[in-house]
Amino acid sequence: MIAVTGAGGQLGHALLESFPEARGLTRAEWDVTHPAPPGLAPELVLHAAAWTDVDAAEDDPQGAAAVNVGGVQHAAALGVPLVVWSSDYVFDGAKREPYVESDPASPLGAYGRTKLHGEAAAGERAWVVRSSWLFGPTSKNFFRTMLRLGAERDEVAVVADQVGCPTYVGHLAEATKEVLQLPHGVYHVSAAGECTWADFAEAIFEEAGLATRVRRITSAEYGARALRPPYSVLRSERGAPELPHWREGLRACLSRPAAASPAPE
């Protein structure tokens, strides 16, 4: 049996579509800040449960660590092969060219630190998949927020000085099958291409047929509590699977019926 943690989230949802034989465990069924439920005996754990609120991690670093580090420790304690997902935010963005697996990590904030420590907690029988800017038709994410705001407003202010790879969770989940054929270790798996958040927002509005304008602003103007890397494009030097271009992921996501429902506040 394959166990998928965080089954209520966007990545967990996508994994259950790609691995229909798996058992999904929502937070109600396994809060990963605690050990696994008694009797759970999977052959493989796809550990998608995570604290993903980057700014809130600055306010509650211990809470973020309880999920992103302690949760991985509890999943690893099952003693079976494990896949964990990490983040481009383990890097500081100073390199200004694509990051590969051997580049030294240097997170800027609490969220990135917890993801990096979670990588270490995964152990030797794990695949660590670093990805970036995840979006999908369910849960709270930038894509769904832009669809909601685009339907409500004529103009939306979006940061234009951060560059990354928006990655569709459906493509990432499918690529996990290929990752499982590789030796254990760290792999970078993100969409092809790169863009700013403002570029991504403009593409969302264009593909969705919305006339909303994007007003480009700086990270400083946006005023988020957590620092983000200004450049966090991920590429693989280890033969990780290559994903389609982020724009293809956007079109695939928009074709899903759930994408039309309002994003949570």
Q: Which residues are catalytic?
A: 111
C-beta of residue 197 within 8 angstroms of C-beta of residue 243: no
Closest CA to 49 of 99, 100, 85: 85
CB 78 within 8 A of CB 45: yes
The amino acid at residue 205 is F
**Exposed, middle or buried: residue 262 (CB in 10 Å: 0-12, 13-18, 19+)?**
exposed
Q: Is the dihedral of CA 141, 222, 248, 209 positive or negative?
A: positive
Q: Evaluate the CA torsion angle 202, 204, 207, 208 in order and state its sign.
A: negative
Q: For residue 233, which amino acid is it?
A: V
10/29 Cα distance (integer angstroms)? 17
User: Which has the closest alpha carbon to 249: 170, 178, 150, 131?
Assistant: 170
SS3 category, 28: coil
Q: What whole-number distance in Å separates Cα of residue 216 and Cα of residue 89?
A: 22
